[in-house]
C-alpha cells in the first residue's frame, strides 16, 4: 500500500511539473503563433492580388473582396485540394473578369524534390492571367490545355490545375461572390 | 582521456547513434532530403536530448524502477512540445518543412534509449556529456546525409545551387531509396575507418 502511494505521488508530481512548464510555454508562444499565421495569410493575400490594400471577408475563411482605396478590384479565394500525399492549400487572386490575377501555395506536403515543385514560381506563373477554360494540363488536353505539368509529378500538377479551374469556374458563375 | 571526455566523444564516432546503434532511423531517413531541414532536425533533437538527459539524471534516484518508463516519456514529451511550439512561433518556415517529425521526436528511440541506457544510471555531468556527444553525432550524420542527397538529387546544398542549371538531378536521391543507399555507404565507410583505426 505504501509503495502504491509512492508510485502514484511520484507520477503526480512529475506530470504536474511537466504540465506547469507546458502551460507557461503555451502562454508565451500562442499569441506569437496566431499572429504568425495572420501575418502569413495577409502577405499571401497581398501577393495574389496586386495593388489591393484592404481585404473584406465575404465568405468566412474562404472568400475575401480585394479593395483598393475602398473600391473592389477583385477577390481572394482560398481553396484546398487533395494532393498526392496530403492537403494542398492554395490562395487565388481573381480579377473582375474572372481571370487569375495571382496564385500562391500556402501549404503542401507533396514529395520533396518532385511534387513539392508545384509550389515553385516556374509552375505557378503559368496560371497567371488565364481564365478557367485555359487552365488544363497540356497532357490532359493537347488542344485547349496551356499548363505544363512539373516533370515526374503529374498527379500533384493535375490536382492543383483542376482545383484552380474549378474555383475559377464557380467564381464566374457567381457562387463565390 | 578522462572518462567525461570519453562519454562525449563516443557518440560522435565509436557509438554513433545512427551508424552504429542504428536508432532513430525513421526521422533520419525521412527528413534528410535537404541539408537545411536535416540540420534543423538535428538542432531540435539536440535540445530535447540535452534537456531530457539532464532532467532524468537529476531525478533518477527519486524515480521508482516500476514507473521509470512513463516518467521518461512525460519528461521527453514535455520538452518536445516546448520545441514544437517555439519553432512554430519563431521559425515557422522550418517548422512547416519538418512537419510531423518534430512532434515525433517523442518516439525517437535515441532519446528514450539514452534515458534508459545512460542517464538513468549516471551523474548529471556524465549524462550531459553523453547527450552532447550523441546529439553532435546525430546532427553531423543527418546533415551530411541531407547534403549528399540534396547535392545529387537537387543540384544544391543548403538551398544554394552548386551545379549549372543544365544539371539533371538524380531524382532517386531525393526519394526514400536514395536515403537507404547513402546511409548504407556511410555505414560502410564508418566501419572501414574504425577497422583501419584500431584492430580491436
Nearest chain A residue (CA) to B30: A112
- What's the rounded mean pLDDT across residues B74-101? 87
Domain containing residue B182: 3-197
**Contacting residues for B41 by C-beta, under 8 A, at least 6 apart:** B27, B31, B32, B98, B101, B102, B142
**pLDDT above 80 for A117:** yes
Instruction: State yes or no: pLDDT of A132 exceeds 80.
Output: yes
Cell triple for B84: 514544437
What is the 3-state secondary structure of B93-106?
A: HHHHHHHHHCHHHH
Tell whether the model's pLDDT for residue A113 goes beyond 80: no
- Closest approach of chain B CAs to the CA of A76, in angstroms? 23
- Cβ burial, residue B139 (10 Å; 0-12/13-18/19+): buried
Provide the whole-model pTM: 0.78
Identify the residue whose cell numbers are 534516484. Answer: B61
Give the percent of chain B with pLDDT over 90. Answer: 40
Which pLDDT does position B48 carry in this prediction? 94
Q: Where are the domains of chain A?
A: 48-172
Whether A26 has its CB under 8 Å from any CB of chain B: the answer is yes
* Share of residues in chain B with pLDDT > 70 (%): 98
Q: Do B86 and A26 touch (CB under 8 A)?
A: no
Position B80 scores a pLDDT of 93
Model confidence pLDDT, tens digit, residues B136-152: 999 999 999 999 999 98
Could you tell me if B56 and B115 are in contact, meaning their C-beta atoms sit under 8 angstroms apart?
yes
Average pLDDT, chain B: 88
Q: Are B146 and B35 in contact (CB under 8 A)?
A: yes
**Distance of alpha carbon A164 from alpha carbon A132, whole angstroms:** 8
In angstroms, the separation between the Cα of residue A139 and the nearest Cα of chain B is 21
Q: Is A16 on the interface with B (CB under 8 A)?
A: no
**Would you state the cell numbers that stand for residue A76, as one nine-digit string?**
481572394
**CA-based nearest residue to A114, from A87, A149, A161:** A149
Contact B85 A113 (CB under 8 A): no
Q: Pairing state of beta strands A100-107 and B156-157?
A: unpaired
Q: Which residue from A10, A40, A111 is facing B67, i.e. has the nearest CB?
A: A10
Residue partners of A70: CB distance under 8 A and separation at least 6: A54
The CA distances from residue B124 to B50, B78, B108, B135, in Å, are 11, 19, 21, 16
pLDDT in tens, A145-158: 889 998 888 999 99
Q: Which three cell numbers stand for residue A58?
A: 465575404
Q: Where are the beta strands (DSSP E) in chain B?
A: 156-157, 160-161
Residues B29-55: what's their mean pLDDT? 90
Closest CA to B34 of B80, B100, B97: B97
Quote the CA–CA distance of A44 and A25 in Å, as a whole number: 28
Using CA atoms, how far apart are residues B76 and B54, in angstroms rounded to an integer? 11
Residue with more model confidence, B95 or A126: A126
Searching chain A, which residue's CA lies closest to the CA of residue B70? Answer: A11
Predicted local confidence at residue B198, as pLDDT: 63
Alpha helix locations (H) across B60-91? 68-90
Smallest CA–CA distance, residue A43 to chain B, in Å, is 14
What average pLDDT does range A110-125 have in this prediction? 84
Whether the CB of B69 is below 8 Å from some CB of chain A: the reply is no
Asked whether the beta carbons of residue B33 and residue A113 sit closer than 8 angstroms, the reply is yes
Say whether B34 sits in a helix, a strand or coil.
coil
Q: In the predicted model, is pLDDT for residue A23 greater than 60?
A: yes
Residue A160 CB contacts under 8 Å (≥ 6 apart), including other chains: A81, A83, A88, A90, A105, A118, A123
Pick from A22, A64, A52: nearest CA to A176: A64
Alpha-carbon distance of A140 to A142, in angstroms, equals: 6
CA–CA min distance B189, chain A (Å): 27
Q: What is the pLDDT of residue A171?
A: 87
**Contacts of residue A24 in chain B, CB cutoff 8 Å?**
none
Structural domain count of chain B = 1
- Residues of chain B positioned with their CB less than 8 A from the CB of A4: none
Nearest to A11 among B34, B67, B99 (CB): B67
Amino acid at each position: 500500500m505504501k509503495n502504491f502511494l509512492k508510485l502514484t505521488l511520484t507520477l503526480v508530481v512529475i506530470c504536474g511539473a511537466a504540465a506547469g512548464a507546458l502551460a507557461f510555454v503555451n502562454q508565451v508562444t500562442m499569441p506569437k503563433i496566431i499572429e504568425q499565421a495572420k501575418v502569413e495569410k495577409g502577405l499571401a493575400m497581398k501577393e495574389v492580388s496586386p495593388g489591393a490594400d484592404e481585404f473584406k471577408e465575404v465568405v468566412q475563411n474562404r472568400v475575401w473582396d480585394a479593395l483598393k482605396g475602398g473600391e473592389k478590384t477583385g477577390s481572394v479565394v482560398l481553396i484546398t485540394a487533395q494532393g498526392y500525399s496530403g492537403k494542398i492549400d492554395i490562395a487565388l487572386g481573381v480579377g473582375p473578369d474572372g481571370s487569375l490575377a495571382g496564385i500562391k501555395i500556402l501549404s503542401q506536403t507533396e514529395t520533396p524534390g518532385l511534387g513539392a515543385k508545384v509550389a515553385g514560381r516556374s509552375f505557378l506563373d503559368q496560371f497567371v492571367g488565364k481564365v478557367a477554360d485555359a487552365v488544363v494540363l497540356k497532357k490532359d488536353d493537347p488542344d485547349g490545355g496551356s499548363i505544363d505539368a512539373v516533370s515526374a509529378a503529374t498527379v500533384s500538377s493535375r490536382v492543383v490545375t483542376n482545383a484552380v479551374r474549378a474555383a475559377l469556374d464557380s467564381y464566374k458563375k457567381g457562387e463565390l461572390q | 582521456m578522462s572518462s567525461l571526455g570519453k562519454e562525449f566523444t563516443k557518440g560522435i564516432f565509436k557509438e554513433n547513434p545512427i551508424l552504429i546503434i542504428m536508432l532513430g532511423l525513421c526521422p533520419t531517413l525521412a527528413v534528410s532530403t535537404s541539408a537545411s531541414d536535416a540540420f534543423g532536425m538535428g538542432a531540435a533533437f539536440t535540445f530535447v536530448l540535452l534537456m531530457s538527459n539532464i532532467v532524468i539524471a537529476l531525478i533518477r534516484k527519486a524515480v521508482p524502477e516500476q514507473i521509470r518508463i512513463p516518467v521518461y516519456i512525460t519528461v521527453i514529451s514535455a520538452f518536445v512540445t516546448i520545441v514544437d511550439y517555439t519553432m512554430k512561433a519563431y521559425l515557422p518556415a522550418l517548422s512547416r518543412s519538418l512537419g510531423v517529425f518534430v512532434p515525433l521526436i517523442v518516439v525517437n528511440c535515441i532519446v528514450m534509449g539514452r534515458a534508459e541506457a545512460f542517464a538513468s544510471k549516471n551523474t548529471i555531468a556524465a549524462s550531459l556529456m553523453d547527450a552532447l556527444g550523441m546529439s553532435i553525432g546525430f546532427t553531423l550524420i543527418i546533415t551530411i546525409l541531407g547534403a549528399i542527397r540534396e547535392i545529387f538529387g537537387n543540384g544544391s546544398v543548403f538551398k544554394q545551387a552548386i551545379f549549372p542549371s543544365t544539371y539533371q538531378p538524380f531524382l532517386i536521391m531525393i526519394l526514400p531509396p536514395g536515403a537507404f543507399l547513402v546511409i548504407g555507404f556511410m555505414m560502410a565507410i564508418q566501419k572501414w575507418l574504425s577497422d583501419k583505426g584500431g584492430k580491436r
